[in-house]
Amino acid sequence: MENCIFCKIVRKEIPSTKVYEDDYVYAFKDINPQAKHHVLVIPKQHILSDINDITEDNCFIIGRMFYAAKKISEILGIEKSGVRIINNTGKDAHQTVKHIHIHVLGGQDMGEGLV
């Protein structure tokens, strides 16, 4: 998508700090980290804006995103201490970028709130 921030990051038109990449997904540090480690995982192709666009035909990419989250937790050395994985979809969740993504947060105690 021409004007999507995350598509621009995949195309390297906007710089980012890569944490993990494979054929399907790209993962990079969030510019405004909410935890010691805060990584965003996105499909390289803008095939979904949010979870409302998930279908039986494209849902494999969600598995790839979670596979990336596992690899990222290993890369960061926090697979034993744990991670919190969040997706924001829509207005009430304050989704700001309409290119589906998961937040992978960790490196500290994440607390008992949300969730």
Active site residues: 101
What is the rounded CA–CA span in Å between residue 9 and residue 21?
A: 12
Quick check: bond before 83 cis, omega within 30? Answer: no
Q: Give me the least distance between CB of 17 and ligand 5GP, in Å please.
A: 7
Is residue 49 a contact residue for ligand 5GP (CB under 6 A)?
no
DSSP one-letter code for 20: E
Is residue 14 a contact residue for ligand 5GP (CB under 6 A)?
yes
1 binds, among ligand 5GP, Zn ion, none (CB under 5 to 8 A by kind): Zn ion
The one among 47, 54, 85, 97 contacting ligand 5GP by CB under 6 A? 97
The one among 16, 45, 49, 58 contacting ligand 5GP by CB under 6 A? 16
What is the rounded CA–CA span in Å between residue 110 and residue 97?
A: 23
The one among 24, 29, 45, 46 contacting Zn ion by CB under 5 A? 46
How do beta strands 83-86 and 37-43 pair?
unpaired
Is residue 1 a contact residue for Zn ion (CB under 5 A)?
yes
- Which residues contact residue 26 at a Cβ distance below 8 angstroms, ignoring those fewer than 6 apart? 9, 10, 18, 20, 41, 42, 44
Enumerate binding residues for ligand 5GP (CB under 6 A): 5, 14, 16, 28-32, 40, 88, 94-97
